[in-house]
Amino acid sequence: MASEPHAVSAADASAADDGILATARRQLERAAALVDVDEAILERLRHPSRVHRVTIPFERDDGDVEIVTGYRAQHDSVRGPYKGGMRYHPDVTEDECVGLSMWMTWKCAVMDIPFGGAKGGVVVDPKTLSDDETERLTRRLAQELRTVVGPNHDIPAPDMGTGGREMAWFMDAYSMQEGETTPGVVTGKPPAVGGSYGREEAPGRSVAIVVREALDYYDRPLEGATVAVQGFGSVGANAARLLEEWGADVVAVSDVTGGVYDPDGLDVASIPTHQEEPEAVSRGDGDPVSNAELLALDVDVLVPAAVGNVLTADNAGAVRADLIVEGANGPTTARADEILEERGVPVVPDILANAGGVTVSYFEWLQDINRRSWPIERVREELETEMLGAWNEVAREFASADGVSWREAAYVVALSRLAAAHDARGLWP
Ligand code: GLU
């Protein structure tokens, strides 16, 4: 099953920009100035509740034992169990996990899903591991995290470098140790073991829904709108394919090796996704285009859906799209956000646009607890309802005050819900 491409390490931001944790904190401060939240609650939200660091030994195929480090950052659980992905990437750091866990808290609150925020990762390059090594690593990771995860406590999911396969192994290892099959301990599993239909396409589907709604907000037709999509993994490819189906002209797509561009629109359905055929996008019909060029194309909508920190102080001035909808987590640095705002380019944030992933994770968790699977039609219908609900809340906030960005509007919705929950629960003891 496909892994979900998301933000990469802080090291990828240009010198003028910050890493993920600094960006996340800066975004929080900007939004905090717009809402009436108790300073003590804000101070709690600036820090994770806990960060777990584990050492994971696993056997390589040649019999050698390798030791890698893993993290699980648990940010806030006032609205429900901690929730968020586990990534395998060589650049994973503790700070990155903390920043990403904060974004999960806001994402679940914007969607009004009864979960808090978490994120974890293992410092390893999954491309260097055989299938057997990945399995042994994942099972040992589940064992090391066994006391800190659980269906009512902290529920991991796929992220960069992980997918349904890893979630199934994690669930199995946890269940064997607990002595009972516990599908609700992770989401993003294959449907054969309690995964939800439609979970894999969900982040891309929510991006497409948000593009559609955002164009409508600005009185622009979706039919014939030109769209450039960076990243052709599960988020980018699903978003591009749906947008094409709904009448948009997807004019450019790319993967890590580069991309293709046709001003009259590509035949997106014929281009293999990164999972179907890795790094095949640039062989598609159309003129070759680099990732840097794609970000500067003159299009109606730009969807950065590959990795984080791609829109920076260095290139935000070159963006010619009329609208940006974030598919990846954290594709826009705080400095790039300011430049785009000054230039009047609206940026619809990740915590709303790609939230379809965690929303269908929530549906999956409900299905696991109820031991009853939903047909794909129901998943799509309920996702549409949840996305429209969240979109309307954020759009109302955006329209209510001059000079508020889409990101700030989404943060205001999230922070208000989090503050109300902290306030109602009070401080213990
Ligand atoms: N990794 C995904 C995200 O960043 C999904 C998290 C989840 O489903 O828990 O939103």
Does ligand 1 come within 6 angstroms of the Cβ of 358? yes
Strand bridging mode 117-123 / 154-158: unpaired
Average pLDDT of span 107-121: 98
Residue 337 within any structural domain of the chain:
no
CA distances from 220 to 216, 245, 321, 344, 395 (A): 6, 17, 14, 16, 16
- Residues pairing with 230 in the sheet: 254, 304
How far, in Å, is the centroid of ligand 1 from the Cα of 102?
12
The mean pLDDT of the chain is 94
Ligand 1 lined by 329 (C-beta under 6 Å)? yes
Provide the token pair at 95.
């700070």
The arithmetic mean of pLDDT across residues 359-376, rounded, is: 98
Q: What is the pLDDT of residue 275?
A: 79
Q: Are strands 347-348 and 226-230 parallel, antiparallel or unpaired?
A: unpaired
Provide the domain limits for residue 123. Answer: 48-184
Predicted confidence at residue 1, as pLDDT, reads 35
pLDDT tens digits, 232-264: 998 999 999 999 999 999 999 999 899 999 999
Distance (angstroms) between ligand 1 centre and the Cα of 104 equals 7
* Ligand 1 pocket residue status of 80, Cβ below 6 Å: no
Instruction: Given the residues 83, 119, 127, 189, select the one marked as catalytic.
Output: 119
CATH number at residue 97: 3.40.50.10860
* Backbone φ and ψ of 323, nearest 5°: -150, 140
Whether 274 is covered by a domain: the verdict is: no
Banded model confidence at residue 17, pLDDT cuts 50, 70, 90: confident
- Number of domains into which the chain is organized: 1
What confidence tens digit (pLDDT) does each residue in 130-165 have? Answer: 999 999 999 999 999 999 999 999 999 999 999 999
Is the CB of residue 157 below 6 angstroms from any atom belonging to ligand 1?
yes
Cis preceding linkage at 429, omega within 30 = yes
Q: How far from 60 is each of 3, 55, 75, CA to CA, in Å? A: 22, 16, 33
User: Per the domain annotation, does 86 fall within a domain?
Assistant: yes
Query: Residue 382: what residue type?
Result: E
| pLDDT value, residue 279 | 79
CB 120 within 8 A of CB 72: yes
Please report whether residue 40 resides in a domain.
no
94 C-alpha vs ligand 1 centroid, how far in Å?
18
pLDDT digits (tens, 9 = 90+) for 278-327: 878 887 789 999 999 999 999 999 999 998 999 999 999 999 999 999 99
Domain for residue 301, yes or no? no
Which contacts qualify for 380-387: CB closer than 8 Å, 24 or more apart? 380/198, 380/205, 383/198, 383/202, 383/205, 383/206, 383/209, 383/356, 383/359, 384/209, 386/111, 386/112, 386/113, 386/359, 387/206, 387/209, 387/210, 387/213, 387/355, 387/356, 387/359
**Amino acid of residue 243:** L
* Domain-embedded: residue 349: no
What is the rounded CA–CA span in Å between residue 352 and residue 355? 5
Q: Residue 282: its pLDDT value, please?
A: 81
The phi, psi pair for 177, rounded to 5°, reads -70, -35
Q: What is the pLDDT of residue 280?
A: 84
Answer yes or no: 119 catalytic.
yes
70 located within any domain: yes
Does 78 fall in a domain?
Answer: yes
Q: How far apart are CA 265 and CA 282, in angstroms?
A: 15
**Interval 397-422: pLDDT, tens:** 999 988 899 999 999 999 999 999 99
Q: Among candidates 59, 94, 98, which has minimal Cα distance to 76?
A: 98
**Tokens of residue 323, six digits:** 């609208």
Q: Does residue 106 surpass a pLDDT of 50?
A: yes
The share of the chain scoring above pLDDT 90, in percent, equals: 89
Tell me: the pLDDT tens digits for 35-76?
A: 999 999 999 999 999 999 999 999 999 999 999 999 999 999
Task: Name the band, by pLDDT with cuts 50, 70 and 90, for residue 14.
Answer: low
Query: 265 φ, ψ to 5°?
Result: 105, 135
Res 10 pLDDT > 80: no
